[in-house]
Amino acid sequence: MSRRALTLLLAGILVLALGVVGAFRPVPYVVLSPGPTENTIGEVDKKPVISIKGRETFPTSGALSLVTVAYQGGPAAQIDLLTALRGWIDPTVAVVPQETIFAPDRNPKEVEEENMVEMTDSQDSATAAALNELKIHYDVVVTVVSTEKGKPADGKLQKGDEINAVDGKPAKNVDVVGDTVKAHKPGDNVVFNVTRGKEKLDVTVQTVAGPKGQTQVGVLMQAKYKFPFEVDINVGDVGGPSAGLMFSLGIFDKLTPGELTGGKQIAGTGTMEPGGKVGPIGGIPQKMVGAKDSGATVFLTPADNCAEAMKAVPDGLRLVKADTLHNAVLALDALRTGKGNVPACEAG
């Protein structure tokens, strides 16, 4: 073998070795793929996903399935370049920068805990929305979660305080309290009427200017709902708020005579506000693939996700636009009966 040929051979081996080593080096990306689906009117581990006690329920059929996105990677378990390359080739998955899922100032455990809190809040909001749709009364209590150290509320408002009113205005929800505070100028006094234990108190707190120029007092609040009967939702370790719409529909279906699905396999996604508004979510292409793989033929799609969904909808999956819980119920009624309008997604 000539010296030139030997040099080229050695160089080729070196390049190949470097390529192999490079392929297995960690990269700051996350692979998103279709996750599991759960039928909200079905069971998980032989337990109902939605259990209702203290109120009459009715038989259901078919499926109202929530869909999820699974991820691979993250700061604690970064994927290698080869895995990222496979993901870029696979049309059913997405490869995104790590910081879009894990903010630099949060570790994976914090992200997981935040997702679980969001799921709990989502379940409460979904229950509230379903009861609103059914005209069933419930009470909302705005509760102090914590106060910010050094801010005016610190030492005045306490964790667990139930806020009844602000400046005499009933505290119907967290937004009412926040908006009332923001309507003041920095330096003004705000009067909180709270229940602390068994005692009702008026607590005066002076406002200050926040970092974005909004008036604040430095209090973190949470709406706690007092429903007239027990609604328990069991989905294991699924996190995040995007199952709200399907939770609401599952609760609605169980509390009303007749079968909302007409026996069809229906999946969907979307956040849910207590007032019934459906909000957009992420990972819509992967969620549609998961829905189709689970046997769904209809996919309830948040209105704000319709344009994106139209570009990646799997064959055989019908997209139905859902902007509110009320309209989603009407759409399912129309699908079941063949009468009425079924709003479709349109390409943007």
CATH number at 202 reads 2.30.42.10
* Number of domains composing the chain: 2
Tokens for 129, please give them: 């929305």
Residues 215, 181 share a domain = yes
Q: pLDDT, tens digit, for every residue of 215-265? A: 999 998 888 889 999 999 988 766 667 889 999 999 999 999 999 999 999
Residue 23 within any structural domain of the chain: no
Stronger pLDDT, 323 or 106, i.e. the higher one: 323
Which of 201, 226, 251 is where one domain is finished?
226
At 135 the three-state DSSP class reads coil
Question: Exposure of 18 by Cβ count < 10 A (0-12 exposed, 13-18 middle, 19+ buried)?
Answer: exposed
Q: Quick one: pLDDT at residue 31?
A: 76
Q: Is the pLDDT of residue 7 over 80?
A: no
Residues 144, 117 share a domain = no
- The DSSP 8-state label assigned to residue 343 in this structure reads P
Residues 103, 147 share a domain = no
250: left (phi over 0), alpha (psi -120 to 50) or beta: alpha
Residues 143, 96 share a domain = no
The CATH number of the domain where 101 resides is what? Answer: 3.30.230
Whether 242 is catalytic: yes
Task: Kindly name the residue from 242, 248, 254, 292 that is annotated as catalytic.
Answer: 242
- The DSSP 8-state label assigned to residue 54 in this structure reads S
Task: Kindly name the residue from 156, 248, 254, 287 that is annotated as catalytic.
Answer: 287
Residues 256, 130 share a domain = yes
Pick from 233, 347, 235, 345: nearest CA to 300: 345
Residues 178, 213 share a domain = yes
Q: pLDDT, tens digit, for every residue of 314-330? A: 999 999 999 999 999 99
Whether 65 is catalytic: no
Residues 234, 132 share a domain = yes
Residue 4 within any structural domain of the chain: no
Mean of all residue pLDDT scores within the chain: 86
The CB density around residue 299, as the number of other CB atoms within 10 Å, is 25
Residue 36 within any structural domain of the chain: yes
Residue 14 within any structural domain of the chain: no
Q: Is the pLDDT of residue 109 over 90?
A: no
For residue 55, what are the domain limits?
Answer: 30-136+229-337
Stronger pLDDT, 112 or 149, i.e. the higher one: 149
β-strand pairing of 47-48 with 189-196: unpaired
Q: Quick one: pLDDT at residue 86?
A: 77
Residues 198, 247 share a domain = no
Q: Is the pLDDT of residue 210 over 90?
A: no
